[in-house]
Amino acid sequence: MGIYTTDPTLFIKYRVVEGDDTRFFRAEEKKVGDFSFLRIRTRTTVSAVLNRERQETFTLSVKAVARYPSGPKLVAQTTVTVRVLDANDLSPLFYPTSYSVDVPENTPLYSSVITVSASDADIGINGEVYYSFERKTDTFAIHPTSGTVTLTQRLAYMDVERYHLTVLAKDRGPSMGYQARVSKARLQINVKEVNYHAPSIHLQMLPTVVEHGSVGTVYGILNVEDKDIGRNGRIGAVEIVSGNSEGYFRIKQGIQHNEFQIEVAKTLDRETDPLGFNLTISAADLGEPPKSTMRVIHVTLQDTNDQRPLFESDHYEVTVEETVPVQTPLLFVACQ
Ligand SMILES: [Ca+2]
Ligand SMILES: [Ca+2]
Ligand SMILES: [Ca+2]
């Protein structure tokens, strides 16, 4: 680029007047025959370097000034657009740089476990990120472009509780010689035992509860069992969830860890509750998530002779013929 001139005495000088606040560029002139070339070059003295990631294009206004030895000053102006080409000067960066995920051991094959992510501010293939594992594993696979980790082998908590993997992110651009464009992220996969079973409730003893029996009488012993191992097999809350609105019964921990007692908490009266009680017992494990079972237990109260009989009337009177035969009924009385 430049300016044609037929006058060999005309000397043209170029200058960047706008669009270069950081003073990266310098305009130079070089006359070859009838053409005065405009040359834009980077300044050698500037310590900062061009960085496409910071500024991709510069729109420079360049002014040309020519002056005859004696005569008017001639001025022309043009715009030069400088586009900075990308160099693969950045590595992909993971954010975050470490991942941890809990995966239930019964997760189906080929399920997604987690997606890792790295970004590269370069453009084109210089910014295209490829994911891989640093060391080969048969249990997991990572999608090269999406970063999604999937399960390729069944998990078993009994065999492996935790996997420690290193994920690599590389870009596809040429490496700039001195270092490979690769980043690493740590990925920890925690295998979680599955809470397969709900607890089961066995009622061990069921004597009849005598009304007015003493508070604290054990009505029944519950054996609560869970077939899972670890926390999933531990028994949590055992409680009466319905049928006990008056609070006649309560549950107490027995001697064994899985033993619970149903105890009388308040004096019972068969006449108030002639049908007894239907207690709904719930037992939950400490699994994640917890599972629970319900069982209805019927409590019948045994009657005691606590009611005095009462005649219908306080006073009865009957008139009898003196000739009445022996064994003749005179009057019927009744009690409540
Ligand atoms: Ca770059
Ligand atoms: Ca890059
Ligand atoms: Ca369980």
Taking the centre of ligand 1 as the mean of its atom positions, its distance from the CA of residue 148, in whole angstroms, is 26
β strands within 124-227, DSSP E: 129-133, 140-142, 148-151, 162-171, 182-192, 200-203, 209-210, 218-225
Taking the centre of ligand 1 as the mean of its atom positions, its distance from the CA of residue 98, in whole angstroms, is 25
Q: Say which amino acid occupies 9.
A: T
Mean pLDDT score, 37-44: 90
More confident residue, 269 or 228: 228
pLDDT at 245 exceeding the cut of 80? yes
Domains defined along the chain, listed by start: 2-83 (2.60.40.60), 93-192 (2.60.40.60), 200-302 (2.60.40.60)
Taking the centre of ligand 2 as the mean of its atom positions, its distance from the CA of residue 164, in whole angstroms, is 26
pLDDT at 265 exceeding the cut of 80? yes
Taking the centre of ligand 2 as the mean of its atom positions, its distance from the CA of residue 142, in whole angstroms, is 20
Find the range with the poorest average confidence among 75-79, 229-233, 331-335. Answer: 331-335
Taking the centre of ligand 1 as the mean of its atom positions, its distance from the CA of residue 127, in whole angstroms, is 8
Query: Three-state DSSP class for 256?
Result: coil
pLDDT at residue 305, as a whole number = 63
Q: What is the mean pLDDT of the chain?
A: 89
* Range of 78-92, 168-182, 209-223, 319-333 with top mean pLDDT: 78-92
The percentage of the chain sitting over the pLDDT mark of 70, rounded to a whole number, equals 93
* Contact present, 62 and 14 (Cβ < 8 Å): yes
72 CB-near residues (< 8 Å, 6+ apart): none
Taking the centre of ligand 1 as the mean of its atom positions, its distance from the CA of residue 184, in whole angstroms, is 20
Taking the centre of ligand 3 as the mean of its atom positions, its distance from the CA of residue 154, in whole angstroms, is 21
pLDDT at 177 exceeding the cut of 70? no
Report residue 199 as tokens.
Answer: 């607890």
Taking the centre of ligand 1 as the mean of its atom positions, its distance from the CA of residue 283, in whole angstroms, is 62
Taking the centre of ligand 2 as the mean of its atom positions, its distance from the CA of residue 181, in whole angstroms, is 6
Instruction: Give the closest ligand to the alpha carbon of residue 174.
Output: 2
pLDDT per residue as tens digits for the range 52-104:
999 999 999 999 999 877 778 899 999 999 999 999 988 999 999 999 999 99
Taking the centre of ligand 3 as the mean of its atom positions, its distance from the CA of residue 224, in whole angstroms, is 11
Q: For residues 133 and 185, what is the distance between their CA atoms, to the nearest angstrom?
A: 10
Q: At 313, is the pLDDT very low, low, confident or very high (cuts 50, 70, 90)?
A: confident
pLDDT at residue 279, as a whole number = 92
pLDDT at 132 exceeding the cut of 80? yes
Instruction: Give the closest ligand to the alpha carbon of residue 125.
Output: 2
pLDDT at 178 exceeding the cut of 60? no
Q: For residues 177 and 43, what is the distance between their CA atoms, to the nearest angstrom?
A: 25
pLDDT at residue 49, as a whole number = 81
